[in-house]
Amino acid sequence: MGHLGTLLFLLGALGALADICNIPEVDSTLVQTLGQHLLPGMDQLSLEHLNPSLYVGLRLSSLEAGTKEDLYLHSLKLSYQQSLLGSASSDDNSDIQAKPSMGQLALYLLALRSNCEFVGGRKGDRLVSQLKRFLEDEKRAIGDHHKGHPHTSYYQYGLSILALCVHQKRVHDSVVGKLLYAVEHDHHPHQGHLSVDTMAMAGLAFTCLKRSHFNPDQRNRMTLAIRKVQEKILKAQTPEGHFGNVYSTPLALQLLVTSHMPGVELGIACLKATTALLASLQDEAVQNVLMISQLLPVLNQRSYVDLISPDCLAPRVMLEPAVETTSQSQVPEVIHVMLTVPSVWPPYTRSISVPAGSSLEDVLKKAQELGGFMYGTQTTLSGPYLTSVMGKEVGEREFWQLIRAPDTPLQQGIADYRPQDRETIELRLVIW
Ligand code: B12
């Protein structure tokens, strides 16, 4: 009987280990290398290039960038306050600089919180009111019967609730209710699916609300919604181990580390995901600053929910600039990429020659130089976003999808994706 007791105790302990998501300690050199990708971006201090997500990622990581980091936060404060609260004259049409979106304002609030600041004072209160107004507008766009869509996305909707929550600002049950409904009815035939990233963000928002004891009347619904999000993320695990794809895995892990799932082997799924993630990092698949900013907290066993009470005194290691390596200059090999745009009239197809290692953006630039092709981009936190092709600007809920022929959507944007020789890239106008 004694032996059985010990056995049961051991099994219980193993079970407990298995239903929580532990991220193993990661090689510090790898973390340094990732962090180094953030440094050049930290010298770009104009509103268009400032990236609050970068600051949040760094503060929740095991790395620090010393005075650079302080200057960055200072610039964020100046630019965001000025553009969002600026004088009335900056509201007229002469103001060419776009105002930060709802999601960018939310990320700015997360950045403040990651420096252990609570948004406050007259200016802070106005920012909070703005974010609440944004959410109210989105709630109206979704509509009483949930037939509409937010102007931005459910991702930004969840992010905004999360940002208000970590600042201990409450939102009305009806606002939270829209996100709950979206998660609960994810298989709704007319609404499409929420991506793993969006689900994870919603789960992080609900987790924050629950931990803060906000919206008590919706507590049970939130518990069930978190469970649904966890299940959906686990179901999306690929044979290699990623949740969704390599780029949604960081947020998915952020959500899973905040929770446990009785009766489910969460520990194993997380271990598999971390192993897959580390393999992708070795292959240098994650170079995008925004992606690194979502990943660094996970590698430090942190998530955005930790911003409820961030630890600003936790020791962090100084980020050292990368050592420049001089590569032998060789005449680069030329590759040929077929660029095709069937969704315009007349359809466009042309083989474009570029040096090997060029990005898709280089291919588009070259095609434009050659004539007969035109494109336009918008700067976003993820990099240049393709907004127009052959003069066709995207309408509401449309986007120019990047596809590797015949039908594989790219998992990177035009600046990061590097086509192979003889590859065909299609730009396809689709509804999302
Ligand atoms: C919502 C969303 C979309 C929406 C954006 C429209 C909208 N009104 O929101 C749609 C469905 C259209 C979309 C399209 C694409 N997306 Co997307 N998207 C997201 C998501 C879920 C949230 C983005 C967001 O709102 N961020 C918060 C706000 C505050 O930041 P922002 O910079 O202001 O947001 C804008 C940009 O993110 C931009 N955007 C959206 N996706 C992408 C992708 C790239 C590469 C760029 C440069 C910009 C961009 O749209 C946002 C709204 O304006 C992220 C998930 C994530 N983990 O970040 C994926 C994500 C950024 N997208 C991704 C990808 C790959 C794409 C596509 C390239 C897919 C494709 N094969 O065509 C295209 C972009 C093509 C193009 N035209 O340049 C990847 C990027 C991975 C990477 N390596 O960087 C992510 C991380 C999803 C994933 N896990 O794979 N996306």
Dihedral pair phi/psi, residue 386, rounded to 5°:
-75, 115
From the CA of 413, give the closest atom in ligand 1: 45
Q: Is 263 exposed, middle or buried (0-12, 13-18, 19+ CB in 10 A)?
A: exposed
CB within 8 A of 273, min separation 6: which ones?
Answer: 237, 241, 242, 243, 249, 252, 253
CB-ligand 1 contact for 413 (6 Å cutoff): yes
- According to the model, what pLDDT value does residue 29 have? 93
Structure tokens at 182: 């979206």
pLDDT at 189: 56
Structure tokens at 67: 């005075």
Is the shortest distance between the CB of 251 and ligand 1 below 6 Å? yes
Ligand 1 near 291 CB (within 6 A): yes
Q: Residue 98 has what pLDDT?
A: 74
> Contact at 8 Å (CB) between 256 and 266?
yes
Q: Give the nearest ligand 1 atom to 385 CA.
A: 78
Task: Return the closest-CA partner of residue 72 out of 108, 31, 122, 34.
Answer: 108
Q: How far is the CA of 236 from the centre of ligand 1 (A)?
A: 18
pTM of the model: 0.94
What is residue 260's predicted lDDT score, i.e. its pLDDT? 79
Within 185-235, where are the H helices? 196-211, 219-235
Report pLDDT for 388.
97
Nearest-10 Cα torsion for 411, 248, 386, 345: 60
State the Cα–Cα distance between residues 319 and 38, nearest whole angstrom. 10
Query: According to the model, what pLDDT value does residue 206 have?
Result: 98
What is the distance in A from the centroid of ligand 1 to the CA of 343? 21
Ligand 1 within 6 A of CB of 399: yes
Do the Cβ atoms of 37 and 287 come closer than 8 Å? yes
Going residue by residue through the chain (432 aa), what tens digit of pLDDT does each one get? 345 444 434 444 454 456 889 898 899 999 999 999 999 999 999 989 999 999 999 999 999 999 999 999 999 999 999 999 885 444 444 445 678 999 999 999 999 999 999 998 999 999 999 999 999 999 999 999 998 999 999 999 999 999 999 999 999 999 999 999 999 998 665 567 899 999 999 999 999 999 999 999 999 999 999 999 999 999 999 999 999 999 999 999 999 999 878 777 899 999 999 999 999 998 888 999 999 999 999 999 999 999 999 999 999 999 998 887 776 677 779 999 999 999 898 999 999 999 999 999 999 999 999 999 999 999 999 999 999 999 999 988 899 999 999 999 999 999 999 999 999 999 999 998
Region for residue 301 given its phi and psi (left: phi exceeds 0; alpha: psi -120 to 50; beta: otherwise): left
Question: How high is the pLDDT of residue 331?
Answer: 73
Residue minimizing CA distance to atom 51 of ligand 1: 380
b/e code 295-328 from CB counts within 10 Å (16+ = b): bbbbbbbbbbbbbbebeeeeebeebeeeeeeeee
